[in-house]
Amino acid sequence: MAFHEVGFRFSIAELPESCTEEEVCDALSNYNKDASIHGILVQLPLPQILNILSLEKDVDGFHPLNIGNLAIQGREPLFIPCTPKGCIYIVYAYSENPEIIAREADILVAATGVPNLVRGSWLKPGAVVLDVGINPIEDPESEHGYRLIGDVCFEEAVKTASTITPVPMTVSMFLLNTLEPAKRALGFTWFKAKELLKCFISSSLLETWR
């Protein structure tokens, strides 16, 4: 196993399907207290168990406090969940020419945190571009002294892409999430949410939702 190859010692606690929640918690507590154990991986789904797992030993990164720190800007999580961390490692290790890679994509998702990084020349003609970057830049003419731009240079990309999202796309989803509890409270089974979002999302993107 991978643990053996790198010289790690590991222990597996296998409990029967008939075990109680208390028995699972006891097994976790024993690992939490064991100073010779430095990392604990819980085979999910066991949502109620994650609160009991030691934050400092949750190497899978799913402890509620760790997820909270991961989600809030300016906070530092102790661990990044393994799958996205692996993706980041791969990108840094092998993506020396991101513009060449981007030019091959039919669907491009930009989330770099670098304003206007993706230029129009990076895009494959007809590509679908999902720009989820939100970058504030100074703008003296703006009411607040700044404006938001994405990771994609919209003015260039719109000439090449078949569909591109505006910035910030997240606001549109916030509106959708706000609409859902209102629908439930008022007993609406269907509401044309697309009409609400037309001011924020291009009509070509709405076509892809139909």
For residue 52, give Cα distances in angstroms to 9, 31, 35, 58, 199: 23, 11, 17, 10, 45
Q: What is the pLDDT of residue 106?
A: 97
Give one DSSP letter per residue of 27-86, joined into a string.
Answer: HHHHHHH-TT---B---S--GGGTTTS-GGGBTT--SHHHHHHHHSTT---S---HHHHH
Question: pLDDT (tens digit, 9 = 90+) per residue, 92-122?
Answer: 777 878 889 899 999 999 988 889 999 999 9
pLDDT in tens, 65-95: 888 888 787 788 888 888 778 877 887 777 8
pLDDT tens by residue, the chain, 210 residues: 566 777 778 888 888 888 888 888 888 889 889 888 888 877 766 656 777 778 888 888 878 888 888 878 778 888 888 877 887 788 777 787 888 989 999 999 998 888 999 999 999 999 999 998 888 889 888 888 888 889 999 999 999 999 998 776 776 676 667 677 777 777 776 555 555 555 545 444 444 433
H or E stretch at 164: strand 163-164
Structure tokens at 30: 């024993």
Q: Can you tell me the distance from the alpha carbon of 128 to that of 113, in angstroms, rounded to the nearest whole number?
A: 19
